[in-house]
Chain A
Amino acid sequence: MDTVLKEWIGRVHDAVETQQTLCIRGGGSKDFYGGNPAGPVLDTTAYRGIVAYEPTELVVVARAGTPLAELEALLAEKGQCLPFEPPHFGAGRATVGGMVAAGLSGPRRAAVGAVRDYVLGVKLIDGKGEWLSFGGQVMKNVAGYDVPRLMAGSLGTLGVVAEVALKVLPVPVAERTLRFALGEAEALKKLNAWGGQPLPIAASAWHDGALTVRLMGARAAVDAAQAALGGEPVADAAAFWQGVRDQTHAFFAGDGPLWRLSVASVTPPLGIPGPTLIEWGGALRWLRGDQGAEQVRSAAARAGGHATLFRGGDAIKASAGVFHPLSPALLRIHANLKRAFDPHGVFNRGRMYPDF
């Protein structure tokens, strides 16, 4: 076993013995996200590198501390990518482990799926210091419960993910971005109507009267879609989508609270005051402003979804928490799962919900 892993296992054992907690951290690019976990840092960046990459298998296996940028550069060399476009949030710090733990996906998510849809296998250290391997490197695998997908978005509350196997896909042959002058309600209607047609829509973003739509696929399909949809071609499209993905777009500037509302795509404009940016064909709505948590969360719940205080708003964070409250049944299952993987409560206490 690698000495780094041995050291981590030792630290978990020590933490259990001394009743300490550990704060698992990669590059720290998403330190802002979630609650503030207590305890000394278990830094995953020392355990890095690509373990295996076989383009014909559409699978890459990487250690948790591998910089996400390094992984994506390797895939790009072979014309492949992580289609869910995970955000990096800053210059080169994001790691593969952090990407899985945060479970955040970028602009193409509605079209191609989320991080969890691409996680095929994980190797992890649980809260008793046991080394466990789940899933594998194949697309179809129903032996045992799907622990690898459970790890996506678990914010390090269940274990230290040390190694991840990910499905990858070829970069689409053709790409084009179009822009339409449309109001919010009209844009939402259009996006949902288009979603029901076999169009190669890969991403969408509406903000301030402009709907930007990204087409990706075979050249013929992209050409045909452009002819059918109309709109104005966008020249600096790559920079625009990068800005949405990493939240460097002007909408995200400033320290005010940023809410992330995940709702049914057909939900009409929410009618909450404040600037908004809409992604994922209407299913993801970013909201700026000082609205009360109750107002935002009940609007999201009415729309079949939930609201996360994504950035800022420390006062709201303290009073209402970052993440949408769970139903009593779900909360109990969450607490039980936490105990199943981390019986002594060592990992990332308070990062997701205050209780665990």
Chain B
Amino acid sequence: MAFANDVRFTVDQRSILARLQAVLPPDALLSAEEDMRPYECDGLTAYRALPLLVALPQTEAQVQAVLRACHELKVPVVPRGAATGLSGGAMPHEDGVVLSLARFKKILKIDPLSRTALVQPGVRNLAVSEAAAPYGLYYAPDPSSQIACTIGGNVAENSGGVHCLKYGLTVHNVLKVRGFTVEGEAVEFGADALDAPGLDLLALINGSEGLLAVITEVTVKLTPKPELAQVVLAYFDDVQKAGNAVADVIAAGIIPGGLEMMDKAATHAVEPYVKAGYDLDAEAVLLCESDGTPAEVAEEIERMKMVLEKSGATSLVVSQSEAERLRFWAGRKAAFPAVGRITPDYLCMDGTIPRKRLAEMLEAIGDLSVKYGLRCANVFHAGDGNLHPLIMYDANQPGEVERATAFGAEILELSVQLGGTITGEHGVGVEKIDVMAAQFTPAEISAFHRLKAAFDEKGLLNPGKGIPTLARCREYTLTRAQTGSAAAITPPRF
């Protein structure tokens, strides 16, 4: 599918090619179409575009030189990590250069005493935890793509994971980011200390989708590995009961290490693929994890079981070994690829809603599934209200792409109406850029543009992503009004 990027630039490919050839070794610059093909999309494969050039620098000096050249010639730059992102944030700009940080993959330092790791942005998320493991430490945020996704991308997207209710998002686990401004000036956000002087720019960099700066080094916090973790599987004969059980656990004063939910469609997709041992008759399953000292876990698991039983769980299974715990989680973490096996295509939504509205949302998704004639499997980071409905469709069937897209848009609009957001952790990218108009007023969108300009006056870093142009917002509002969507009207502000 093409994405009509409405932020375009007039660029002379030969001039920028010549400039970059002068600052990069030959193997660090791709310009032939067949070489650039692998870069045309990220994890959101439905949207593709070919860049003018792909730069693969290996040193900060090269990053700086690429940025200076692009800035001077007014060429867009799209930073790229492992490209596992699910919103098209790393999709190339047709008039621009892809700046891949894939060669920045050194772990520069693991410091067990200060419990920090200094890593280059191309280091994989899981590799940090593996390197820290000998010291009894790990890097807490664990997005499902952690085998492949990189720390630079995690910062750009403010990635979450299945344990962020207790251990926080990327923004809570990053101390310092070193990088370059679009002009090619070295800059540091945050510090080796717990805070830095002035405005909290580090908070802005997290989740900025490559629109504010290019990251070349990240200092992350490492967390002591809990002595023990156990997970309770709680089965329910009704998804709404499972949704309410989530609120009951929190109300009991428990903050589980992880609190996830899958509906029947999801467990049925996962089980043949992973053989996690889930009960396939249940309408929903909750995975509720406790971690800490053995005594602490025993105490908390008992409390969790009591609450879940009272909330109407039909059966409870507690993991009896680390192998079993990992198997239970493997099913949840493999949910996306598992669904990918049973449908030619799927769209993954990422709205977040207040926990108490989970049951309501589930019911609405069920109705929408009937309305659009498309199947939908639901996996949720239930503990923090982050939903991943997986809308299944077949792009080769006429009209199904459009139906799937409209289905998704309705879910996101409903997320906003229920007091939530269109994206909890996958980012806006190109995928959700239009729906931003359902969540923000033109004044707020304009404020975002001014904020962007404070870092990047010419608007060269990842242009056309993340924040829609006002023209796009107007078009979206008009189109949704014509198709009769309730959310086309900007949400009430008071």
A residues in contact (CB < 8 Å) with B: 1-2, 54-59, 79, 103, 109-110, 113-114, 116-117, 126, 130-134, 136-147, 149-150, 152-154, 157-158, 169-170, 173, 192-193, 195-199, 217-221, 223-224, 262-266, 280, 283-284, 303-306, 308, 323-327, 329-330, 333-334, 336-337, 339-341, 352-353
Q: Tell which of B112, B171, B206, B447 touches A341, judged by Cβ atoms closer than 8 Å.
A: B447
CA distance A47 to B224 in the complex (A): 43
Q: Is B300 an interface residue (CB 8 A)?
A: yes
Q: Is B186 an interface residue (CB 8 A)?
A: yes
Q: Tell which of B186, B254, B444 touches A144, judged by Cβ atoms closer than 8 Å.
A: B444
Task: Name the residue on A nearest B201 (C-beta).
Answer: A333
Given A142-B428, A340-B450: A224 in contact with B443 (beta carbons within 8 A): no
Q: Is B181 an interface residue (CB 8 A)?
A: yes
Q: Is there contact, CB below 8 Å, between B114 and A140?
A: no
Q: How far is the CB of A238 from chain B (nearest CB, A)?
A: 20
CA distance A262 to B325 in the complex (A): 40
List B contacts of A197 (CB < 8 A): 136, 224
1/0 contact string of B150-190 vs chain A (CB within 8 Å): 00000001101000110011011000000001000111100
Task: Name the residue on B nearest A263 (C-beta).
Answer: B193
Q: Is B355 an interface residue (CB 8 A)?
A: yes
Q: How far is the CB of B30 from chain A (nearest CB, A)?
A: 30
Q: Is there contact, CB below 8 Å, between B443 and A130?
A: yes
Q: Is there contact, CB below 8 Å, between A142 and B426?
A: yes
Given A143-B428, A144-B428, A263-B193: A149 in contact with B292 (beta carbons within 8 A): no
Nearest 7 pairs of A and B residues by beta carbon: A304-B192, A220-B295, A305-B193, A336-B454, A149-B203, A140-B424, A340-B450
CA distance A154 to B204 in the complex (A): 13
Q: Is there contact, CB below 8 Å, between B247 and A56?
A: yes
Q: Tell which of B225, B419, B454 touches A137, judged by Cβ atoms closer than 8 Å.
A: B419
Q: Is there contact, CB below 8 Å, between A352 and B454?
A: no
Q: Is B255 an interface residue (CB 8 A)?
A: yes
Q: Tell which of A113, A266, A337 touches B199, judged by Cβ atoms closer than 8 Å.
A: A337
B residues in contact (CB < 8 Å) with A: 111-115, 135-137, 157-158, 160, 164-165, 168-169, 171-172, 181, 185-188, 191-201, 203-204, 206-208, 212, 224-227, 247-248, 250-251, 253-255, 292-293, 295-296, 298-300, 352-356, 381, 384-386, 419-428, 432, 436, 439-441, 443-444, 447-448, 450-455, 457, 466-467, 493-494
Q: Is there contact, CB below 8 Å, between A220 and B199?
A: no
23 A/B residue pairs, CB under 8 Å, sorted by A: A2-B494, A55-B250, A55-B251, A138-B419, A140-B169, A140-B352, A142-B421, A144-B428, A145-B208, A147-B451, A150-B200, A150-B203, A150-B204, A152-B200, A173-B253, A196-B137, A218-B300, A220-B298, A262-B191, A262-B193, A266-B113, A337-B199, A337-B451
Q: Tell which of B165, B224, B384 touches A196, judged by Cβ atoms closer than 8 Å.
A: B224
Q: How far is the CB of B59 from chain A (nearest CB, A)?
A: 19
20 further A-B contacts with Cβ under 8 Å, apart from A57-B354, A341-B447, are A2-B494, A57-B356, A126-B447, A136-B419, A138-B420, A140-B421, A142-B157, A143-B428, A143-B432, A218-B300, A220-B296, A220-B298, A221-B292, A283-B194, A284-B194, A303-B192, A308-B197, A330-B188, A336-B455, A352-B198
**Which of A55, A192, A198 has the most chain B CB within a 10 Å cutoff?**
A198
CA distance A146 to B421 in the complex (A): 13
Q: Tell which of B135, B355, B451 touches A56, judged by Cβ atoms closer than 8 Å.
A: B355
CA distance A284 to B332 in the complex (A): 40
List B contacts of A139 (CB < 8 A): 164-165, 352, 384-386
Q: Tell which of B196, B224, B253 touches A79, judged by Cβ atoms closer than 8 Å.
A: B253
Q: Is there contact, CB below 8 Å, between B432 and A196?
A: no
CA distance A138 to B424 in the complex (A): 9
Q: How far is the CB of A148 from chain B (nearest CB, A)?
A: 8
CA distance A217 to B181 in the complex (A): 42
Q: How far is the CB of A101 from chain B (nearest CB, A)?
A: 12
CA distance A157 to B198 in the complex (A): 11
List A contacts of B157 (CB < 8 A): 142
Q: Number of contacts between A and B (CB, 8 Å)?
A: 267
Q: Tell which of A150, A158, A329 touches B186, judged by Cβ atoms closer than 8 Å.
A: A329
List A contacts of B448 (CB < 8 A): 144-145
CA distance A337 to B136 in the complex (A): 41
Q: Is there contact, CB below 8 Å, between A130 and B447?
A: yes
List A contacts of B197 (CB < 8 A): 306, 308, 323-326
List B contacts of A305 (CB < 8 A): 191-193, 196
Q: Is there contact, CB below 8 Å, between A114 and B296?
A: no
List B contacts of A117 (CB < 8 A): 168, 171-172
List B contacts of A223 (CB < 8 A): 295
Q: How far is the CB of A71 from chain B (nearest CB, A)?
A: 19
Given A1-B494, A133-B493, A336-B453: A140 in contact with B381 (beta carbons within 8 A): yes
List A contacts of B451 (CB < 8 A): 145, 147, 337, 340-341
List B contacts of A153 (CB < 8 A): 195, 199-200
List B contacts of A56 (CB < 8 A): 247-248, 250-251, 355-356
CA distance A29 to B60 in the complex (A): 45
List B contacts of A146 (CB < 8 A): 158, 171, 203-204, 206-207
Given A130-B447, A132-B443: A140 in contact with B386 (beta carbons within 8 A): yes
Q: Tell which of A57, A145, A196 touches B112, judged by Cβ atoms closer than 8 Å.
A: A196
List B contacts of A140 (CB < 8 A): 160, 164, 169, 352, 381, 384-386, 421, 424-425
List B contacts of A325 (CB < 8 A): 197
List A contacts of B172 (CB < 8 A): 113, 117
Given A138-B353, A140-B352, A329-B187: A217 in contact with B292 (beta carbons within 8 A): yes
Q: Is there contact, CB below 8 Å, between A323 and B198?
A: yes
List B contacts of A2 (CB < 8 A): 494
Q: Tell which of B114, B168, B421, B450 touches A138, judged by Cβ atoms closer than 8 Å.
A: B421
List B contacts of A113 (CB < 8 A): 168, 172
**Which of B113, B181, B353 has the most chain A CB within a 10 Å cutoff?**
B113
Q: Is there contact, CB below 8 Å, between B158 and A224?
A: no
